[in-house]
Amino acid sequence: MTARMDAVPRPTADGPVEAMAAYGIERIPVDYFHWNGFRYSTLKDAVAAARREQKARSAEPANI
């Protein structure tokens, strides 16, 4: 079964705001948390990774 392309509304202008309005698309800002070269979508995950790293470093034997 194929979709009828003539049934899809077309934006009247070429701008992104008009296209979003024509298709009912909503833009939602997203926060990312960066730590040690990695990107996390939640602060909880970033903190957990940092704590794991800290714990691993404190468990390493001292080089004397």
Residue tagged 């990107």 (tokens): 39
Domain boundaries, the chain: 29-64
Query: Does the predicted TM-score (pTM) go above 0.85?
Result: no
Distance, CA of 15 to CA of 25 (rounded, Å): 13
pLDDT score for 62: 72
Distance, CA of 9 to CA of 22 (rounded, Å): 7
pLDDT score for 53: 97
SS3 63: coil
The pLDDT profile of the chain, 64 residues, written as one tens digit per residue, is: 556 666 665 656 678 999 999 999 999 999 999 999 999 999 999 999 999 999 999 988 877 6
Torsion of CA 48, 53, 58, 63, to 10 degrees: 180
Q: What six digits make up the tokens of 17? A: 């705001």
